[in-house]
Amino acid sequence: MRTIRYILQKEFRQIFRNKTMLPMIFMVPIMQMLLLVFAATYDIKRIDLVVVDHDLSSTSRELIAKFDGIPFFNVVKLEQSEKLAEANLLKDEGDAVLIFPTNFERNLIRDDKTQVQLLINAIESNSAQLIFSYSSNIIAGYNKHIIAEWKGIPEFTPPSQVKISENYWYNPELDYKWFMAPGILAVLVTVIGMFMSGMNLVREKEIGTIEQLNVTPVKKYQFIIGKLVPFWVIGLFDLAFGLTIAWLVFDLPIVGSLFTLFFMAGIYLISVLGLGLFISTVTDTQQQVMFVAFFFMMIFILMGGIFTPVESMPVWAQKIDHLNPIYYFMRIMRMVVLKGSGFFDLLKEFIALLILGITFLSLAIWRYRKTA
């Protein structure tokens, strides 16, 4: 223990003397939480709508007014033809085109039915789905208004009618920032653990001190513990720092137990630090560490369920995701912070992270050669 204590003292002094380490410890959480949460937050605030009205009737004007009265929609242009309206989509000057055909109102009065066409820019699929959903609700609401105005409200409601009341759990306001903040925190812990632990050992190689450490009587496990524990502590500190920022800035509720969250984070950091240490054993420069770690980070993040649900991925990708530690930690963060899940609710994730942590750490210890 005495040897490990001296190694830890040396590592902490070396970390705080490094001019690039301290900015990473304090500035990375601030930048990621204050910028990335807003950048990754998916919420439509403005939908530019182009209208083509061939009917020019009171009914079409009333429906256009319904769209223009919604805060999300902004009628930017009234075009004379579909071709001109589509040109706005090509120039990215409109998000959707609403087309009223000729005899729109006459067909509605004569046949009790009519048609309206909606063209949506679907380059961003999530935006297109939201635009279609909002538009469908507006048109359906206007349809009910017409039925009530033209044919009268039915005096009797059949008793078999089913009424649906909605209640959203865990995020009742559907605030996307609450969904993204735990995910960004998971990315933060991963970046700190993988990059900093890998770069620290390689830096010893670059400045030549690794040879001096190798000829000392320090055992391999003592050296590994001394290298990993400081960044394990720093990772937990940054998690606490990021949670504080999320609570103060986004009013993020922390429903679950902080003890459970930090215990799971400690297990997760073992796997991430082990992977970072393993990368450092197969590389010789900090630049190589950055490239290799960035390769793994991109795969882990994109397949971890931060932006898209893992359940929507192909079956083969979901099976590969079982080797992705950030996939499990992402679920843990959101389940503990937003749902209030306990340890036994996360038992499967705990076992998976424990197995991955032991595997990565064992590979790093096996690959590291302490030679004179």
pLDDT value at 354 more than 70: yes
pLDDT of residue 364: 83
Contacts of 33 (CB under 8 A, 6+ apart): 181, 184, 185, 188, 242, 245, 246, 249
DSSP state letter for 78: E
Q: pLDDT-derived band of residue 153, with 50, 70 and 90 as boundaries?
A: low
Q: pLDDT-derived band of residue 196, with 50, 70 and 90 as boundaries?
A: confident
What is the rounded end-to-end Cα distance, in angstroms, of the chain?
A: 23
pLDDT value at 72 more than 70: yes
- What is the spatial distance between Cα 11 and Cα 209, in angstroms, rounded to a whole number? 12
pLDDT value at 87 more than 60: yes
Q: pLDDT-derived band of residue 43, with 50, 70 and 90 as boundaries?
A: low
> Each residue of 11-30: pLDDT tens digit?
788 777 777 777 777 787 88
- What is the spatial distance between Cα 186 and Cα 242, in angstroms, rounded to a whole number? 10
Q: pLDDT-derived band of residue 370, with 50, 70 and 90 as boundaries?
A: low
What is the average per-residue pLDDT within 223-244? Answer: 87
> Each residue of 99-142: pLDDT tens digit?
998 988 888 888 878 888 999 988 887 788 888 888 888 888 88
pLDDT value at 154 more than 60: no
Q: pLDDT-derived band of residue 372, with 50, 70 and 90 as boundaries?
A: very low
pLDDT of residue 156: 46
Cα 324 to the center of its chain, rounded Å = 15
Q: What is the pTM of this model?
A: 0.77
b/e per residue 148-177 (b: at least 16 CB within 10 A) = eeeeeeeeeeeeeeeeeeeeeeeeeeeeeb
pLDDT value at 340 more than 70: yes
What is the average per-residue pLDDT within 364-371? Answer: 72
Cβ atoms < 10 Å from Cβ of 230: 23
- What is the spatial distance between Cα 135 and Cα 228, in angstroms, rounded to a whole number? 54
